[in-house]
Amino acid sequence: MTDKQTLRKTLLAARKIRHAQAPERAAQNLAEQAMALPLPHSQIIAAYHPMGAEIDARPLMHALAAQGHRLCLPFCESRDAGMVFRRFAFGDALAADGVGMRAPLPEAENLRPDIILLPLLGFDRQGNRLGRGAGHYDKALDGLRQTGSIATYGLAYDMQMVDKCPSEPHDQAIDGVVTEAALYLV
């Protein structure tokens, strides 16, 4: 196994255990910690619908919508297709996309986010992140950064921080991470 594969396996198991301990409280604490993010008014913010033991971004999304931000969620047609972001408001119907994420329906408008709040498996204080390994976010971030600036923040449990995340040239760094316990800016 590569360093990334070993770390993914370890962090997936540890996150599952952590998630079983008061996930609603953790999600609420995450939303409170995120209020310290430097977010200009009226931004388009991409977040995610949680899968498995990912920390729940929905309480934070509610707070952001209440502040006047427009929300969107990721959508992937298939494992090989690129990730796009579709407009989302609470109450909108969601369906599984080509990679199993809960995503807005095809009639939802595609948006270019100003800020992306993304899930991760591991992170370090240098802005490196470890995802699931499919590269969807790395490819999307690379493409978006070629068309202008974008702020990126991971959302995670504090126990997902590691001393050093393995990183390769194609891996996209992030600007910080919000956990249920702290805000880490790079």
pLDDT at 1 over 60: no
The percent of residues above 70 in pLDDT, for the chain, comes to: 99
- The pLDDT tens digits of the residues spanning 19-66 come to 999 999 999 999 999 999 999 999 999 999 999 999 999 999 999 999
What is the C-alpha end-to-end distance of the chain, expressed in Å? 29
Q: Which of 184, 61, 77, 59 is nearest to 128 (CA)?
A: 184
- The pLDDT tens digits of the residues spanning 63-111 come to 999 999 999 999 999 888 889 999 999 999 999 999 999 999 999 999 9
pLDDT of residue 135: 82
**Triad 85, 39, 106: Cα angle to 5°:** 15
Between the alpha carbon of residue 108 and those of residues 58, 63, 75, 181, the distances in Å are 19, 21, 11, 34
Q: Which of 185, 135, 178 is nearest to 27 (CA)?
A: 178
Helices within the chain (DSSP H only): 3-19, 23-34, 58-66, 136-145
Quote the CA–CA distance of 73 and 136 in Å, as a whole number: 13
* Residue indicated by tokens 């770390």: 7
* Residue indicated by tokens 């962090």: 11
